[in-house]
Structures are given as structure tokens and as C-alpha cells.
Amino acid sequence: MITEGRADQAVTILGRRRLHPWEGGEGQALLAWDRAHTRLALDALADARARDAVEHVRAALAPPRNLGEARHPLASTAYLHLLLGDALADARDPDGAADAWRTAAAQRGDFVDMSTQEHGEQTFWTVLALRRTGRHDVADELTASLRAYRDRYAVEVPRVDYFATSLPDLLLFEEDPLRVRDRRVLFLDAQLALLADDTAAGEALLRRPELAASRHAADLRHGVARRGAELLHLPQS
């Protein structure tokens, strides 16, 4: 529904129904809430409706209690805060934008699949936030660290922890862990290409068949399509 241009319907359904933690797997309701609102925020920015975009991102950052779950304290919100800063900048609130970008830039690591990670898909947005706040040296260091992490991760042999057997992505072990690893490496390659200003290569990687089922790739493709160069090169505060 979200990737089919019906994010508004997804928000309506999620906002009306009282969900429970066991419905859909850990974090899935919150993930859908975030994705729907960020889609709507990007669409609003593309249509010059900055205030609407601000409200959508703020709604994502404050999910309603009826979702039955809350964001983990260690989970990164770099993307949401970067997008909030962009929306506030378009709404002519430079102080609010700078504050949101600083919040995004301060975040390191992430909490994914019930474990903390040195780097992840959110690191990309932290790098962009650092660039927006003018901290290019730190952004370059973090990009180099992300690339080194990608290289280490690409040769690791995946191991399924006992607790992770309850996670929806590993339900009944329908997907080969090696394929999951390789798909994530491909997505990190796309992000690194975009960070290196090789937009053509990054977009080509995002269109690869291996990433057809990746929500991260789908969301980044949508962001690039709706925001274009502004997503990657918004003038610093």
C-alpha cells in the first residue's frame, strides 16, 4: 500500500486501529507508520507544501499509542530528523532546521534486529546531516568508516542468533542469510555511490533486481525521485 502511492490510506488505517505487539512482528507497525509519513512528507516537499511536510515528519517522530509499540531508545532517527530539518528549511524556519539537522548529525549506529550496530542504513542520513551543518571533515570520516564496515560485513558468514528466529524477516528461514547479506551490501554500495556524488551509479544500483524487495531501496528511490539533488545537496545552514 505504501509503495503503491496509497500512503495516506495507510496512515488512516494505522491511526484508527488498535494494534498489539504480536501483530505483524516486532516493530512492523511502527515501521509502516514511519514509512507512510515520510512518503507523504517527501510528496509535500515536492509540491511546495513545506508545512504539511513538517507535520508529517513530526507525526512519524511521535507515533500514537494505538500502534502498540514504541521506538527503541537506541534506534536511530537520523533520517526523520534530517527530513524534518529539510521541511523546516523550506518552511523558512532556519533555526528549527539547524536544530533538527544537528540532532540527526549527532546520531551514530543503530538498533536493528534486536541488536546494536556500528553502522547501518541510517548512517547515510547522518552523513548528509553533517554536511548540512557544515561539518564536512566529520562527514568524510564517517563515510570512510561506513565503507570499511561495508567491506568487513561483505565477507562475514551470517549467523542466525537463537532470539532472532522470532523476527519477521527470518520467519521459517525462508530466505538464505547469504542472500540477505549480499542484498544489504548492494544497498550500502548504492548509498556510498550517492555520497560520492556518483548519482548515476547510485540510482543504477538501486534499480538492480536484487533490491526489488528491499524497503530501504524503495524508500531511497522515492526520496531521490521526489527531491532530486536537494536530497543530497541541500545548502548547509
- 104, 125 contact by CB (below 8 A): yes
Tell me the per-residue pLDDT of 217-226, one tens digit each, with 9 for 90 and over.
Answer: 999 999 998 8
Q: What is the DSSP string of 158-183?
A: ----SGGGGSGGGGGG-S-HHHHHHH
Can you read off the three cell numbers belonging to residue 20?
A: 498489539
Reported in sequence order, the residue ranges of the chain that DSSP labels E, i.e. its strands, are 110-112, 115-117
The boundaries of the domain holding residue 71 are: 2-233
The string of pLDDT tens digits covering residues 2-40 is 445 567 776 666 566 665 655 545 667 788 888 999 999
In order along its 237 residues, the chain shows pLDDT tens digits of 544 556 777 666 656 666 565 554 566 778 888 899 999 999 999 999 999 999 999 999 988 877 667 777 778 899 999 999 999 999 999 999 999 999 999 998 776 655 667 788 999 999 999 999 999 999 999 999 999 999 999 998 877 655 555 555 555 545 678 888 999 999 999 999 999 999 999 999 999 999 988 889 999 999 998 888 888 876 544
Instruction: At 228, list the grid cell.
Output: 532530486
Phi, psi of 115 (to 5 degrees): -150, 150
| Domain tally, the chain | 1
